[in-house]
Structure 1
Amino acid sequence: MRKLALSDDILLKIEKPARYLGNEYNAVYKDPASVDIRFAMCFPDVYEIGMSYLGIQIIYDMLNKREDVYCERLYSPWMDLDAVMRERNIPLFALESQDPVKDFDFLAMTLQYEMCYTNVLQILDLSQIPLKASERTLEHPFVIGGGPCAYNPEPLADFFDIFYIGEGETVYYELMDCYKAWKKRGGSREEFLKEAAKIPGLYVPSLYKVSYYPDGRIESFEPLAEDVPKKVEKQVVTDLSHTYYPSNPVVPFIKVTQDRVVLEIQRGCIRGCRFCQAGNVYRPNRERDLEFLKKYARDMLLSTGHEEISLSSLSSSDYSRLEELTTYLIEEFGKKMKVNISLPSLRIDAFSLDVMRQVQDVKKSSLTFAPEAGSQRMRDVINKGLTEEDIFSGAMEAFNGGWNRVKLYFMLGLPGETMEDIEGIAKLSNDIAALYYTIPKDKRPGARVDVVSSTSFFVPKPFTPFQWVAQNTTEEFREKQRFLSHKMKDQLNRKSMRYNWHDFDLTALEGFLARGDRKVGEVILGAYKKGCMFDSWSEYFYYDRWVEAMNEAGIDPAFYTGRVREYDEILPWDFIDAGVTKEFLWREYEQSQKELVTPNCRMQCSGCGCRVYEGGVCFEGEN
């Protein structure tokens, strides 16, 4: 019988002990003594969030296909267990073997959002691994960071040995082979990191030096040796239909955020929204073959027993064979097995609504639109590619199709925004509600319509055309939110409208971390030492502690958030080649100031630079 890392008395007094037991259906078990490499894959947030993430399932499956590697999982212990582990000096452990992570060869963490940065330090601290990479020895695992936030790794540079820039299926095998060769011949930790840095897509922060101007801007960013690359190139899977994908994903014993089979139908996006980091760094848009998707849909449903399958992508409507795929899923699994089919990220049009009517219980669901801005002018500025006519026709299609609940997502604080644009959010929400009441009473799906409008606050992100702009201050955000709240109450259909908004201080911190440099690491460490963890959870978010840490580090957050950058300024992430060129991003920034729309990738190539990957939408229609 497996020995658990936690005793019964601990398990009986903590919330949801199943988070820490492992032994889930489809989990992989190997004899640790029979492998050459032990690899811990971590999502630095609570189990329910981490188990919903497809990326870890892919890498877990891929690495465990190798007989010489044993990949295990771990997640952030919730606050109750965190306190017990510190009190009793229990080292953090992997779920499968229950062995301490500090005894592994690698600890890899996915960085999905900036608010998990203090949890990165929690993982290291509870694992009894030195927080700073410079203090680790041959006795400690190599710590790797990847995921979307790795496209600006500098705020976390002090804490990671290696950052993986790009998609996980590409060079992990090469890194494992490099490690085995190094281990066999012996050598220092620094020697392995130098060898790892030669692998495309791997960034080793300790092998680079940053210098600053007196005003805080970066003066230079250079490798410390000639054989260390000046540019780190993003790694991309060009053929998504002949790569790794889990047929037998791990099934959690407790309810998690995404308690379903996830079928990734494509990567990337053709749309080119200027605020969207994912739409830029995941370029080019690449589709999976229909037969691949059919096979894995069947395999995963049969191997897990899940009763729902979700089609994952940034813009599902743009998958060229969506109609064929959804028809197959409905016929094979919806009707025969009563499996629910979830279609997120759809553009609301007649086809999408027809599909959704077939796969959803209309009475229990709401439809989501993301106009992002209240005026057509602002939608052109951000290159949303959505007209007012599109929005109204989609809403009317929805109402006639049986829906009477609509969610609308907008952003406040977009570059060039005016109060008139903000008022447009209230007017658009009101107009959509008014449309509902133009339908004869006997043909409406309900007595009233429910229009829920939500606003997040715009945060400029690396590798977007808006990476150079100033972010609104908290005071500006608050003023805009109050203005919009009043305008919502002034509308004729206000009783059919609701308004929600994002947290001001959380947005300020996200903006600070998103475009930070290496000096920001001192603030993250200071905040963690003051007790900051689970910052994305409102009940554990203490912005005052972050402000204290900034003050103690002598860092003004406005330098990172409230300042316009010039084109020739060295940005902290400029050493990364993400495919999209800096010239293209600047050109798009200029297009936004002229309120000009750039056609999507299927309509016309915009010359972003991603043809270098020789795949995907860039080569559609070519022989």
Structure 2
Amino acid sequence: MRKLALSDEILLKISQPARYIGGEVNMVKKDPSKVAVRFAMCFPDVYEIGMSHLGIQILYDMFNRRDDVYCERVYSPWMDLDPIMREQKIPLFAVESQDPIKKFDFLGITIQYEMCYTNILQVLELSQIPLHAEDRTEEDPIVIGGGPCTYNPEPIAPFFDLFYMGEGEVVYFDLIDRYKEIKARGGSRKEFLEQAAQIPGIYVPGFYDVTYKEDGTIEAMTPNNPHAPQTVSKQLVMDMSDTWYPEKPVVPYLRATQDRVVLEIMRGCIRGCRFCQAGMVYRPVRERSLEELKRLARTMLKSTGHEEISLSSLSSSDYTKLEGIVNFLIDEFDGKGVNVSLPSLRIDAFSLDVMSKVQDVKKSSLTFAPEAGSQRLRNVINKGLTEENILNGSAEAFKGGWNRVKLYFMLGLPTETVEDMQGIAELSEKVAEVYYDTVPKEQRHGKVQVTASTSFFVPKPFTPFQWAPMCTKEQFLERASIVNHRMKEMLNKKSLRYNWHEADVTVLEGVLARGDRKVAAVIEEAYRKGAIYDSWSEYFNNDIWMKAFETCGVDIDFYTTRERSLDEVFPWDFIDAGVTKDFLKREWANAQAETVTPNCRMRCSGCGVRKYGGGVCFEERA
């Protein structure tokens, strides 16, 4: 029997001890003494969130299919365990073997969201690994960052030995093989990093120097090591039906955020929304074959015992074989107690027909994401959704028995006016009116409920809006107040609900999203003063962050409200993310002209990703 890293006494003191003890269904067990490379895969958040992440499940399965590699998992200790580990000097440990992370060859951290940056420092410190890459010795693991936030790694660059740009299935084995060879002959940490820097998609921050202009913007980012390339190119899987996918995913003891089988049906998106980083950096669209999805569905449901299966993508309605996979799931598992979940659907007749088959109408609500309150602003952001689409979709849904609708919007978008803000309330009112106009009184399931939610806009790297200024906290709250006031003036106000995101969190996210290396000092200072689990509203402390900016002499407005010139050098310009800067500039100009760009299946916009070959770019067009 394994010896647990935490004593029974500690396990009895903390909530959810199952987060730390391992032993789950499909957990991989190997003898650590019989492998050449040990890899700790980290999600810097609580276990239930990390266990829901598909990317880690894919890499965990892929690594562990190699006999010479043992990949284990580690998550951020929750707030009740963290102080105990510090007080008793218990090193952070892997779930599988319970061995200290410091003993591993690699610590791979997936970085999904800027607000987890202080948790990365928590993981490093509790692992007894120096926070700064430059302070690590031959005895420390190689710390790797991956995930969407690596498309601007600079605010956390000092804390990482290297970053992997793109999809992990492509060159990770090259990286591990080079490490294994260098380790076997007693080579140094620096030699490995130099070898790693030559692998496409690998970025070693220590091999680059950044110089600044007098105004604080970047003058240049220059390699200081001959092995480091000037440009780092993202890596993509092009054949989605001939790649790694976990047939036996680990099943958590606890109810995770996504406690179900996840079928990834495609990557990328054809839509081109100008605010959406994922829609830009995950281009081009690549689909899994229908036959492969059928095989995976049968295999994974059998290996996990899950009673729900979910289709995963950025826009499931754009999967060309959607009808085929949905009908298969309904026919194959009908009467077997398996629920089918279909997120990311555009609300059209087919989607509503499908949802009526797979959802309990009485329990579910439908979700639309108009993003903006007026058609003018939807054209600015290239949403590709008209008011007619929204109202017709609502009418079809209400006829089908739904009476609850959620509408998602953003406030603070470029060119936004008071009329656009008030349009959020007015569109919500129109949706409510459709219910009463469409559904006869005797057929209504109670009153309609329309819930409008607004997040606040954050400009992200590699989007056409990367040049856009951002609102201040006060401006965000003023805009939310305008929407709230207009909501209360609506005729159907009792059927309308309105809520909005935290403005101070959004401002911080904006700094971390477009920040440079100078921001790293702020992150470290905030962590030292107690910032942790910043994505959890009950633990976020804005005062700590504001003091950290002041202590470090870093100006928030420089990274948020300042307008960027088209020729400014960005911290992430050394990355080739597929889409070209010229394309993003054209789309920024189109946004200001309120010009809609057709989606990728209608017309190629010349974004730059054709060079990868395959995907939507190379489909036959009618």
Shorter chain as normaliser: what TM range?
over 0.9
Alignment partner of 1:302 is 2:302: yes
Aligned to 2:517: 518
Secondary structure, counterpart of 2:407 in structure 1: strand
Percent of aligned pairs with the same residue? Answer: 67
The 5 A counterparts of 1:218-237 are 218-237=218-237
Residue 518 of structure 2 aligns with an amino acid whose one-letter code is K
User: Following the alignment from structure 1 to structure 2, what is the Cα–Cα distance between the partners of residues 338 and 350?
Assistant: 26
Aligned to 1:86: 86
Aligned to 1:494: 493
Aligned to 2:577: 578
**Displacement after TM superposition at 1:188 (Å):** 2.2
**Displacement after TM superposition at 1:440 (Å):** 4.6
Q: Does the Cα contact within 8 Å between 1:269 and 1:283 map onto a contact in 2?
A: yes
User: Following the alignment from structure 1 to structure 2, what is the Cα–Cα distance between the partners of residues 442 and 495?
Assistant: 18
User: Following the alignment from structure 1 to structure 2, what is the Cα–Cα distance between the partners of residues 397 and 311?
Assistant: 23
**Displacement after TM superposition at 1:226 (Å):** 3.1
Q: Does the Cα contact within 8 Å between 1:316 and 1:322 map onto a contact in 2?
A: yes
Aligned to 1:438: 437
Q: Does the Cα contact within 8 Å between 1:208 and 1:224 map onto a contact in 2?
A: yes
Q: Does the Cα contact within 8 Å between 2:204 and 2:228 map onto a contact in 1?
A: no
The 5 A counterparts of 1:466-477 are 466-477=465-476
Residue 51 of structure 1 aligns with an amino acid whose one-letter code is M
User: Following the alignment from structure 2 to structure 1, what is the Cα–Cα distance between the partners of residues 32 and 405?
Assistant: 52
Residue 494 of structure 1 aligns with an amino acid whose one-letter code is K
- Listed one character per residue, the Cα deviations across residues 272-294 of structure 1 (whole Å, up to 9, x for unaligned) are 00000000000001100000100
User: Following the alignment from structure 1 to structure 2, what is the Cα–Cα distance between the partners of residues 573 and 398?
Assistant: 43
**Displacement after TM superposition at 1:214 (Å):** 1.8
- Listed one character per residue, the Cα deviations across residues 132-174 of structure 1 (whole Å, up to 9, x for unaligned) are 0000000000000000000000000000001000001001100
Q: Does the Cα contact within 8 Å between 2:182 and 2:188 map onto a contact in 1?
A: no
Alignment partner of 1:372 is 2:378: no
Aligned to 2:155: 155
Residue 219 of structure 1 aligns with an amino acid whose one-letter code is E
User: Following the alignment from structure 2 to structure 1, what is the Cα–Cα distance between the partners of residues 442 and 433?
Assistant: 15
- Listed one character per residue, the Cα deviations across residues 22-44 of structure 1 (whole Å, up to 9, x for unaligned) are 00000000000000000000000
Secondary structure, counterpart of 1:362 in structure 2: coil
The 5 A counterparts of 1:521-532 are 521-532=520-531
Alignment partner of 1:402 is 2:401: yes
The two structures have a TM-score, normalised by structure 2, of 0.99
Secondary structure, counterpart of 1:500 in structure 2: strand
Alignment partner of 1:182 is 2:179: no
- Listed one character per residue, the Cα deviations across residues 82-103 of structure 1 (whole Å, up to 9, x for unaligned) are 0100010000000000000000
User: Following the alignment from structure 2 to structure 1, what is the Cα–Cα distance between the partners of residues 384 and 480?
Assistant: 25
The 5 A counterparts of 1:92-171 are 92-171=92-171
- Listed one character per residue, the Cα deviations across residues 230-268 of structure 1 (whole Å, up to 9, x for unaligned) are 000000000000000000000001111111000000000
User: Following the alignment from structure 2 to structure 1, what is the Cα–Cα distance between the partners of residues 555 and 328?
Assistant: 55
Q: Does the Cα contact within 8 Å between 1:213 and 1:219 map onto a contact in 2?
A: yes
Q: CA RMSD in A?
A: 0.9
Q: Does the Cα contact within 8 Å between 2:399 and 2:439 map onto a contact in 1?
A: no
- Listed one character per residue, the Cα deviations across residues 49-102 of structure 1 (whole Å, up to 9, x for unaligned) are 000000000000000011000000010000110010001000000000000000
Residue 185 of structure 2 aligns with an amino acid whose one-letter code is R
Aligned to 2:540: 541
Secondary structure, counterpart of 2:382 in structure 1: coil
**Displacement after TM superposition at 1:475 (Å):** 1.1
Aligned to 1:343: 342
User: Following the alignment from structure 1 to structure 2, what is the Cα–Cα distance between the partners of residues 2 and 369?
Assistant: 48
Secondary structure, counterpart of 1:437 in structure 2: helix
Aligned to 1:605: 604
Secondary structure, counterpart of 1:25 in structure 2: coil
Q: Does the Cα contact within 8 Å between 1:261 and 1:301 map onto a contact in 2?
A: yes
- Listed one character per residue, the Cα deviations across residues 178-221 of structure 1 (whole Å, up to 9, x for unaligned) are 10111122222111111100000000000000011122100110
**Displacement after TM superposition at 1:337 (Å):** 1.3
The two structures have a TM-score, normalised by structure 1, of 0.99
Aligned length: 622
- Of stretches 417-426 and 435-444 in structure 1, the one that deviates more from structure 2 is 435-444
Aligned to 2:553: 554
Secondary structure, counterpart of 2:80 in structure 1: helix
- Of stretches 178-187 and 99-108 in structure 1, the one that deviates more from structure 2 is 178-187
Residue 454 of structure 1 aligns with an amino acid whose one-letter code is S
Structure 1 ranges of 4+ moved more than 6 A: none
Residue 322 of structure 2 aligns with an amino acid whose one-letter code is L
Aligned to 1:278: 278
Q: Does the Cα contact within 8 Å between 1:403 and 1:445 map onto a contact in 2?
A: no
Aligned to 1:293: 293
Aligned to 1:74: 74
Aligned to 1:205: 205
Aligned to 1:63: 63
**Residue ranges of structure 1 left out of the alignment (5+ in a row):** none
Secondary structure, counterpart of 2:353 in structure 1: helix
**Displacement after TM superposition at 1:566 (Å):** 1.0
Alignment partner of 1:41 is 2:41: yes
User: Following the alignment from structure 1 to structure 2, what is the Cα–Cα distance between the partners of residues 570 and 587?
Assistant: 17
Residue 593 of structure 2 aligns with an amino acid whose one-letter code is K
Secondary structure, counterpart of 1:467 in structure 2: helix
**Displacement after TM superposition at 1:443 (Å):** 5.0
User: Following the alignment from structure 1 to structure 2, what is the Cα–Cα distance between the partners of residues 581 and 85?
Assistant: 46
Q: Does the Cα contact within 8 Å between 1:400 and 1:444 map onto a contact in 2?
A: no
